[in-house]
Amino acid sequence: MKKTIALLVSLALVLLTFAACGGEAQNEDAPAEKTTIRLATLKGPTGIGSVKLWADNDAGTAANAYSVTLCTDPTEVTAGMIAGNYDVAACPLNMAAVLYNKLEGNVQMLAVNTLGTLYLLSAQPLESIADLAGRTVVTAGQGATPEYVLRYLLEENGLADSVSVEFRSEHAEVATLAAAAAAEDSTLYLLPEPNVTSALLQNKALSVALDLSDAFESASGVALAMGCIVAKKDFVEANRAAVDAFLQEYKASVEYTGTNLDETAALCETYGVIPKAAVAKQAIPRCSIAFQSGAQMRETASANLDVLFEANAQSVGGALPGDDFWYGA
């Protein structure tokens, strides 16, 4: 009887061991828990490239788990990054440098995601930028990229003293003025997308008189960059694999934007990046959605930051970022 009991106990222990091993094998095959990334993005062009990623996240097919916040103003992104509410954010290019300085280097640029989105609208066309002489430009963005880019172009083309610049508080106000412009009006209106499309839809007398991206590249030799993706440096260092996966997913989302216009426009409306799909469909081709990382990102972004720094050092936070600012470069 004792031998029988011992044998049964031994058999039970063996079975328990096999069960435990089987359980371990099953756990090894289970999917790894996704890394949560708190992502802030902006309405308008800077947020367009993320809408497919947003949809994939909602469908549960994204590599990471994204907690997405849509902001209406860049200052919301800046405040949220400083407060520690976001890990990764889409923001204007100069804001990335401002954050680097405010957070004492605890920010890195991951990618350039938006190139030039600034256009001069007018009922009276321009043959070249030289035709701006004697004209008035109405714009918003005083103390920000629109003003600095415009001032740079006027100076580079010898027009600083011959063009009058009037500022309004909001791009929407400029768009309203442009929409009401008469056919004989010689005033030019500097606007970004999607305000450009909104004004053009309301006023058939208007047309795009000058793409500031082309003028900037002719003057500087580098593409105009408006938006980028940044991340907290300590988050990147602790989650490098998740950040690299994000960059791959974001790149795929941008590529989708370039080849699926109707679907992207619909997603822009769904997620509130642009209120109406019909407007988004016309605006997206002029929004210069891009993905530049590594050395290409650094070349484009640093040249743009140099222009902003020369125009006003405070526009980039008082100093240009150091070498540690450029992720993967």
Q: Is the pTM of this model over 0.95?
A: no
Question: 231-241, pLDDT tens digit by residue?
Answer: 999 999 999 99
pLDDT computed for residue 13 by the predictor: 46
Residues of the chain with pLDDT under 50: 1, 4-5, 7-9, 11-27
**What pLDDT is attached to residue 125?**
87
What is the predicted pLDDT for the residue at 30? 53
Task: Give the N- to C-terminal CA distance of the chain in Å, as an integer.
Answer: 75
CB-neighbour burial class of residue 266 (10 A; exposed 0-12, middle 13-18, buried 19+): middle
pLDDT at 29: 56
DSSP H stretches of helix in 157-239: 171-179, 195-202, 212-220, 233-238
Question: Nearest Cα to 81, choosing from 38, 138, 135?
Answer: 38
Q: Minimal CA–CA distance to 212: which of 236, 189, 239, 238? A: 189
Check residue 3 and give its pLDDT: 52
38 by DSSP, 3-state: which? strand
**Bridge partners, residue 119, by sequence:** 191, 211
pLDDT at 31: 60
H helices present in the chain, as ranges: 2-29, 45-48, 51-59, 74-83, 93-102, 145-156, 171-179, 195-202, 212-220, 233-238, 240-259, 261-271, 277-283, 294-311
Q: Which of 280, 315, 254, 305 is nearest to 109 (CA)?
A: 305
d(CA 240, CA 244): 6
* Residue-level pLDDT at 157: 94
Structure tokens at 53: 């990623």
Q: What is the DSSP string of 69-94?
A: EEESSHHHHHHHHHHT--SEEEEEHH
> What is the reported pLDDT for 7?
45
Exposed/middle/buried for residue 130 (C-beta within 10 Å: 0-12, 13-18, 19+): exposed
Amino acid at residue number 66: Y
